Amino acid sequence: MRGSKLDRTDRAILRALQADGRMTNVDLARTVGISPPPCLRRVRALEKTGYIRRYRAELDAERLGYGVTVFAMVGLHSQAEADLKAFEALVAGWPEVREGYMLAGETDFILKVSARDWDAYQNFVTTKLTAAPNVRGVKSAMALRASKHDPGVPIESGD
């Protein structure tokens, strides 16, 4: 089941589950226009082949007390593969960092950080991020509001 081998029904299943991962198999089957047994087989095959990696709940950060989202642009002293992997391993252990991407260009990494408030973010930067080995500098950009939040990927119909 490679990207080009997904048929219209597989893509419809992926679109529906990406929108609502708690959808029952019966509702999913009805949504994509097939009966429940083949629908379940297709979902299991999509899971097995890695198209569906996991299911999770999307939580409301503000209701949970995380009112600040900051994007930290991190520059490193060294971009040797071992140093990049060491930084990634360190970041993976920081719960404040919700997403991280290695970039091409002037900035080596961009990290999406959730914090209770600006002071908590500053504490994270000074005690963890800038104190980390190989970190040359950090530039911060605080998000004022989210104008779009649509996790996942666009799924075309596949005709």
pLDDT of residue 5: 86
Contacting residues for 66 by C-beta, under 8 A, at least 6 apart: 114, 115, 116
Q: Determine what percent of the chain is predicted with pLDDT higher than 90.
A: 92
CA distance 156 to 15: 8
Pick the CATH number of 68-142 from 3.30.70.920, 1.10.150.120, 3.40.50.620, 2.60.120.580: 3.30.70.920
Give me the chain's average pLDDT, please: 95
Q: Could you give the 3-state DSSP secondary structure of residue 90?
A: helix
The domain segmentation of the chain, as residue ranges, is 7-48, 68-142
Length of the chain as a residue count: 159
How does pLDDT run across 87-112, given as a tens digit for each residue? 999 999 999 999 999 999 999 999 99
Q: How many CB atoms are located within 10 Å of the residue 36 CB?
A: 14
pTM above 0.85, yes or no: yes
Contacting residues for 62 by C-beta, under 8 A, at least 6 apart: none
How does pLDDT run across 23-62, given as a tens digit for each residue? 999 999 999 999 999 999 999 999 999 999 999 999 999 9
pLDDT greater than 70 at residue 1: no
CATH architecture assigned to 7-48: Orthogonal Bundle (1.10)
